[in-house]
């Protein structure tokens, strides 16, 4: 019998490391155990994104009011003055369902929330094969301007220096292999 209550799983990586694909794959493979934790952000929705699904898109005022009321389990200003944060209410909603929240968040946010829930979290760092490959993936995504691409690559270099602080590092050189390894870690964690 798996005990999922009040555990949480953090998947963090530099942008472009393939974190979102791994998160999607895990949600498909473990639908009874995991639920995606929908963050709040002040960035604008990208084409195809729906409020409440990928993110709760909010105003700066509303986000800052959540910070003031201590309603966020962690938050960061990730890029270009845009806030991103994990609402405590979102974690509680998922725990109420008897599932474990799966968080797709940035590296600093991942380490911060792990400090807040040290006994009950599993923190996994998704490692891109190289910065060259990371740059190629970000180009291929086609959602970046030259400036935002540069910002993401600079941040990625900085974020890679924190990977040793995570419980596990998964090299994403091949998506299926990375998903298999991550799934195994999560199954073990949920059963413990």
If the CB atoms of residues 18 and 85 are measured against ligand 5GP, the closer one turns out to be: 85
3-state secondary structure of 53: coil
Summarize as ranges the residues that interact with ligand 5GP (CB under 6 A). Answer: 15, 39, 43, 74, 76, 78, 84-86, 104-106, 109
If the CB atoms of residues 39 and 172 are measured against ligand 5GP, the closer one turns out to be: 39
Q: Report how far residue 43's alpha carbon sits from residue 29's, in angstroms, rounded to the nearest whole number.
A: 29
Instruction: Measure CA 102 to chain center.
Output: 8
If the CB atoms of residues 84 and 166 are measured against ligand 5GP, the closer one turns out to be: 84
Strand order in the sheet with 55-57: 55-57, 39-41, 82-87, 72-79
The least CB distance from residue 60 to ligand 5GP, in Å, is 15
If the CB atoms of residues 2 and 137 are measured against ligand 5GP, the closer one turns out to be: 137
The least CB distance from residue 11 to ligand 5GP, in Å, is 8
The least CB distance from residue 192 to ligand 5GP, in Å, is 25
Least Cα distance to 122 among 87, 168, 84, 89 occurs for: 168
The least CB distance from residue 43 to ligand 5GP, in Å, is 5
Q: Report how far residue 167's alpha carbon sits from residue 174's, in angstroms, rounded to the nearest whole number.
A: 21
Least Cα distance to 39 among 81, 4, 73, 70 occurs for: 73
If the CB atoms of residues 63 and 189 are measured against ligand 5GP, the closer one turns out to be: 63
Least Cα distance to 182 among 1, 3, 15, 17 occurs for: 17
The least CB distance from residue 176 to ligand 5GP, in Å, is 21
If the CB atoms of residues 139 and 188 are measured against ligand 5GP, the closer one turns out to be: 139
Residue 81's contacts (CB-CB under 8 Å, 6 or more residues apart) are none
In this chain, which residue has its C-beta nearest to ligand 5GP? 109
Structural contact between residues 74 and 113, judged by C-beta atoms closer than 8 angstroms = yes
The least CB distance from residue 187 to ligand 5GP, in Å, is 23
């Amino acid at each position: 019998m798996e005990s999922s209550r009040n555990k949480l799983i953090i998947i963090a990586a530099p942008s472009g490391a393939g974190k979102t694909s791994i998160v999607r794959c895990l949600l498909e493979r473990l639908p009874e155990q995991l639920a995606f934790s929908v963050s709040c952000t002040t960035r604008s929705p990208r084409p195809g994104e729906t409020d409440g699904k990928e993110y709760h898109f909010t105003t700066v005022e509303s986000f800052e009011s959540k910070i003031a009321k201590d309603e966020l389990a962690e938050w960061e200003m990730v890029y270009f003055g845009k806030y991103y944060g994990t609402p405590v209410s979102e974690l509680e909603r998922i725990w109420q369902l008897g599932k474990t929240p799966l968080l797709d968040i940035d590296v600093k946010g991942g380490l911060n929330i792990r400090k807040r829930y040290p006994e009950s979290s599993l923190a996994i760092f998704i490692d891109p094969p190289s910065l060259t490959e990371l740059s190629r993936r970000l180009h291929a995504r086609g959602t970046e301007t030259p400036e935002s691409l540069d910002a993401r690559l600079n941040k990625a270099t900085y974020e890679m220096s924190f990977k040793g602080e995570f419980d596990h590092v998964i090299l994403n050189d091949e998506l299926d292999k990375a998903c298999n390894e991550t799934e195994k870690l999560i199954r073990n964690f949920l059963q413990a």
